[in-house]
Structure 1
Amino acid sequence: MKKIFFVFLASIISLWAKPYTDMLGRSVEINKAETFVFVGPGALRLGAYLGLREKIVGIEKLEQMPNAQSPYRTFIGVDFAKKLPVIGNGGPGKMPNLEALLNVHPDVIFTSFIPKDQIELITQKTGIPVVALSYGASYGGKGNKNLDEIKASLKLIALIANQEQRAEVLVSFIQKQEEQLSKIKLPDTSVYVGGVAYKGIQPITSTEVDYPPFALLGIKNSIFKDNPEAKGHQFIDFEALLKANPELIFTDMYSRAKIQQDYKENKALYDTLKAYKNGEVKEVLGFNNYSTNVENLLLIAWQIANYMGYDVDINAKAQEIFNAFYPNNGDILLEKLSYKLGAK
């Protein structure tokens, strides 16, 4: 009799459920969306952008750790994050703790970088709707244009969480930034980016073929000009960097200590590079920490444009971008993060 009652109850609830199509093309039925858990690299960030901080009921342990490269964690706040129940350690493709999920029992679980079979397992074991998000092909998703996937994920979360107006404003801002950056005319200078963070800090030989800030500006990583088949993150040989000998080198702030240490140990070799010899090595913010920090990505593109001769007030641009991503909190966040954004 009890089983019949629960089957009947489930049937009634399903009548109220509304179907949504997630970023993996799965149909997910949701009947209530007031509390959330975000699982996997980048998922929580998108929730923070949409102002869902107070609706989070569980958090990955990794997300409780502050990191200057991930402004959304500073926005959420360490004290707030540490008061939330831990639902797993976190990490790419890492399963959350199913028992912990059941204990906090969110209305919806949003995931990124979680394989489809694991998503189905979470749904099966917990009975909680799971919605897959995407950061694009370069960052674990299926789409070729990363920002398009991120914008679509923001809209999807907003549709479910009743934050459509907020998403519309933010997505419109991102699109406007893309348009403005694409129209900037820069000199035909050979450029390279090194020290790109990838699962932690990396040496100057860590780079990216389609480095997103370059892509926003329509410029190419010169190291791959003769290798059109190359894609994604790459570790190159230092000899390849010497051969390409770019006029301008950008380095990821996140890997500063490693690059500086390597420079001290191999100064003569580094100084044979044109960029080092001419003082044309410029540091930019990092954006890839537990996936893409979109606000930093946009700001890096403006930093690069500025270093290449485009007249822009970087500090004013930082305030504009951060206030768009974190309304009424952008200036405060920048002060806490202590980014040194000095112009060229």
Structure 2
Amino acid sequence: MEKIILCTLILLGSLCAQTYTDMLGRHVEVKSASKLVFLGPGALRLGVYLGLEERLVGIEKTENDASPLSPYRTFLGKEWIAKLPLVGPGGPGKMPDLEALIVLKPDLIITSFVDQNQIDLIASKTTIPILAVSYGASYGGSSQKNLEEIKASLLLLGEVTQTKARAQKLTAFMQNEEKGLSALKLSPKTLYVGGIGYKGVQGMTSTEANYPPFELLGLKNSVFANTDAKGHQFIELEALLKADPEIIFVDLFGKAKVEEEYAEKKPLFESLQAYQKGNVKEVIGYNYYSTNIENLFVIAWQVAHALGAPVDINSKAKEIFTTFYGEKADALLTKLPYHLNQP
């Protein structure tokens, strides 16, 4: 009789489980998504976008840094994050604390930027289902591909966690933003972006060959105008001097570093026409533990505004942040060091 009951329970459990194909092409059987853990750069961000933070049973240590350059962490709040048990250090290539995962017993682990061998190892040691999401080809891919992968990841995660309507709303909004930005008619200017965060704070020569906000507007980074370079690049200052772009954008993440460099090499910086004509513009943070999607769109509108588009950046930022964070968007924007409507 006991064997019959046990077999019945196992059968019922298997009937409740559903199999999903994750962003690495793995087939993952999920019985429940009530208790979650997110591992790797950007994984938790997507969970917060979908309103899944109340399901968290553990968090990576790196998420304790509630940086103002990372909106989703500011949204969660340092005190709230600190209450969650740690499941490992976090960061690319870092293994989680397997013992902590086994003790916490999440129903599902969601990963981003974690390779398949590592996923297989974690799954075999913990027996917890793992679903991989994706930000695309990372720094080496095109903006369009990355956004398509992000939208697909949101829809997948929405289906698995029963937040499908929310995921559909977000992806539809992203699609509309892409269409609106690509349709803008902007004055032709040569552009450059520096101070891009890459494994920490970087200076003026840290850039993106195919900077996603530029690509959303159909624009190019002038230093790479005649090359097939992709993703993050460190350039020589001489390459920037040679390109001499009409407008330079500085990522907020690297602003202080760029200002230090300017003080040290003032004559070289002031030989650039962008500095001579006051066309050095600040844009908000792009990368911080992977891409801030909401910021990506705000930055694109900042660039468009600098090129003459009649857009109120504060109003646009409020619209974007409200879509991603709901009624708390105003309070969140107030906490972030974003000086949006600059001349």
What TM-score, normalized to structure 2? 0.95
Q: CA deviation at 1:13?
A: 2.9
Contact 2:140–2:231 (CA under 8 A) maintained in structure 1: no
2:77 partner amino acid: G
**CA shift in 2, pair 1:34/1:5, >3 Å:** same
Aligned: 1:134 with 2:143 = no
Moved more, 184-193 or 4-13: 4-13
3-state SS in 1 of match to 2:28: strand
Q: CA deviation at 1:16?
A: 2.7
More moved, 282-291 vs 137-146: 137-146
Q: How many residues align?
A: 342
**Structure-2 residue corresponding to 1:101:** 101
Mapping of residues 184-203 of structure 1, within 5 Å: 184-203=184-203
Paired amino acid for 2:122: I
**Match of 2:236?**
237
* CA RMSD, Structure 1 to Structure 2 (Å): 2.0
Residues 191-219 of structure 1, C-alpha deviation per residue, up to 9 Å, x if partnerless? Answer: 01011111111110000011000010100
Give the unaligned 5+ runs of structure 2.
none
Equivalence for 1:153: 153
- Shift of residue 95, structure 1, vs aligned partner: 1.3
Structure 1 residue matching 2:20: 3-state secondary structure: strand
What is the CA–CA distance in structure 2 between the aligned matches of 1:308 and 1:191, rounded to whole Å?
10
**Contact residue 312 and residue 341 of structure 2 kept, 8 A:** no
Partner Cα distance (1:140, 1:33) in 2: 32
- Which residue matches 2:181? 181
* 1:41 aligned partner: 41
In structure 1, the residue matched to 2:291 is 292
Tell me, in whole angstroms, the C-alpha distance in 2 between the residues paired with 1:25 and 1:234: 29
2:33 equivalent to 1:67 = no
Q: Call closer, same or farther: CA 1:210–1:104 in 2, change over 3 Å.
A: same
Instruction: Indicate if the aligned counterparts of 1:205 and 1:236 stay in contact, CA closer than 8 A.
Output: yes
Contact 1:136 1:144 in 2 (8 A): no
Give the direction of change, closer, same or farther, for the CA distance of 1:188–1:144 in structure 2 (3 Å limit): closer
Distance of aligned partners of 1:6 and 1:181 in 2 relative to their CA distance in 1, 3 Å threshold? same
Distance across 1 between alignment mates of 2:184 and 2:236: 32
* Residue 343 of structure 1, CA deviation: 3.4
Change (3 A) 1:110 1:319: same
- Bigger Cα displacement from structure 2, 144-153 vs 308-317: 144-153
Q: Is the 8 A contact 1:113 1:141 kept in 2?
A: no
Instruction: For residue 241 of structure 1, report the CA deviation from its aligned partner.
Output: 0.6
Cross-structure match for 1:90: 90
- Once the two structures are TM-superposed, the CA of residue 334 in structure 1 deviates from its matched residue by 0.3
Deviations 1:200-251 (A, max 9, x none): 11110000011000010100001011212x1110000001111111111101
State how far apart, in whole Å, the 2-side matches of 1:87 and 1:105 are.
11
> Separation in 2 of the partners of 1:233 and 1:195?
11
In 2, Cα distance between the equivalents of 1:142 and 1:274?
A: 29
Question: Aligned in 2, Cα 1:7/1:89: closer, same or farther, shift over 3 Å?
Answer: farther
- 1:269 and 2:268 are equivalent in the alignment: yes
- Runs of 4 or more, structure 1, over 2 Å off, are 2-16, 138-144
Matched, 1:218 2:225: no
Deviation sequence 1:114-148 (CA, Å, 0-9, x none):
01011111111111100001001134889961111
Code of the residue aligned with 2:193 in structure 1: it is V
> 1:342 — aligned with what?
341
Give distance in 1, aligned partners of 2:6 and 2:129.
Answer: 18
Query: Does the aligned pair in 2 maintain the 1:65–1:78 contact within 8 Å?
Result: yes
1:156-178 CA-partner distances (Å, limit 9, x unpaired) = 11101100111111111111111
- Judged with a 3 Å threshold, the aligned counterparts in structure 2 of structure 1 residues 7 and 88 are, in CA distance, closer, same or farther, namely farther
**CA displacement at 1:32 relative to structure 2:** 1.2
**Structure 1 contact 139–291 (Cα < 8 Å) conserved:** no
Distance 1:161 1:140, change over 3 A: farther
- The letter for the 2-side match of 1:38 is F
Q: Percent identity?
A: 56
Contact persistence 2:119–2:130 (CA under 8 A): yes
Deviation sequence 1:49-98 (CA, Å, 0-9, x none):
00011101100000011111110001111111100000000001211111
Q: Unmatched 5+ residue regions in structure 1? A: none
Normalising by structure 1, report the TM-score.
0.95
Q: What secondary structure does 1:57 align onto?
A: coil
Structure 1 residues 266 and 109: alpha-carbon distance in aligned structure 2, compared to 1, 3 A threshold: same
Contact between 1:40 and 1:113, CA under 8 Å: does it hold in 2? yes
Aligned to 2:38, the other structure's residue is in SS state strand
- Does 138-147 or 123-132 show the bigger shift? 138-147
Letter in 1 for 2:254: S
Matched, 1:324 2:326: no
Deviation at 1:11, TM superposition (A): 5.9
Separation in structure 1 between the aligned mates of residue 209 and residue 194 of structure 2, nearest angstrom: 11
Would the aligned equivalents of 2:141 and 2:230 in 1 still touch at CA under 8 Å?
no
Q: Distance in 2 between matches of 1:199 and 1:235?
A: 12
Distance 1:276 1:4, change over 3 A: farther
Given the alignment of the two structures, is residue 306 of structure 1 paired with residue 308 of structure 2, yes or no?
Answer: no
| Structure 2 letter corresponding to 1:231 | K
